[in-house]
Amino acid sequence: MAKINIDFVSDVACPWCAVGLGGLLEAMRRLEGVAEVDLHFKPFELNPDMPRGGQNTIERLMEKYGYDRERVQANRKVISERAAAVDMPMRMDDDNRSFNTFDAHRLIHWAGLQGQAQQTALKKSLLRTYHYLNQDTSDADVLAQSVREAGLDEAAAREVLASGRYTDEVRAEEEEWRKLGITSVPSVIINGQYLVSGGQPPEAFEQALRQIAEEG
């Protein structure tokens, strides 16, 4: 069986990252028995300077891209539909807020030290917290709830948050990806040499992974 390594560079705040992850996980399911995929989540912050309490998402997107409200709402509707199709439900309300995600990345790093299943479970839980519940991912209690829902050790996670552990590791990884030219997410790096960008559907990931498995 072919072995494939995937670095999934993304941000909890990124709705297209949820779409891409849903597509990738479905593609991995379709390739069971064909390829063994080693999946790692890597940090990237879309809004590293987001203040505590966050900002209205529509207003942020209008400022960032210069779009009017109608275009932002139309784009969000498309994303929401794509996300629902890959079992990543979102609620795109006008009063949604964007939040800082650095502490979420620290916990994702911590979960990754425990194993792929644990890290994937926490990543999915945090995406649900952010995009469906629209809760503040800079709040320790909110993050602890996500950890609990992922089936991980809440007390250990709270200790990570309180201690500042893995701050240096996450910062170093973010800088590493920037140096490698990653400027948008999701960026899916396969076997350290192939890049799949954006929130691709399952078929796109399946085709890429099958081809790499056949070559390898």
Q: What is the pLDDT of residues 103-127, one digit of tens each?
A: 999 999 999 999 999 999 999 999 9
Q: Percent of the chain beyond pLDDT 90?
A: 97
State which residues form the domain around 71.
Answer: 2-211
Asked if the structure places residue 216 within a domain, the reply is no
Binned at pLDDT 50, 70 and 90, residue 193 comes out as very high
* CATH code (residue 182): 3.40.30.10
pTM above 0.85, yes or no: yes
> Mean pLDDT over residues 152-167, rounded?
98
CA distance 22 to 193: 22
Mean pLDDT score of the chain:
97
From residue 119, give the alpha-carbon distance in Å to each of 37, 76, 81, 107, 216.
14, 27, 25, 9, 26
Asked if the structure places residue 68 within a domain, the reply is yes
pLDDT per position as a tens digit, 66-75: 999 999 999 9
For the chain, the maximum distance between any two Cα atoms, rounded to a whole number of angstroms, is 50
Asked if the structure places residue 144 within a domain, the reply is yes
- Regarding beta strands 97-98 and 55-56, do their DSSP bridges make them parallel or antiparallel, or are they unpaired? antiparallel
> Mean pLDDT over residues 126-155, rounded?
98
Report how many domains make up the chain. 1
DSSP H or E stretch at residue 212: helix 202-215
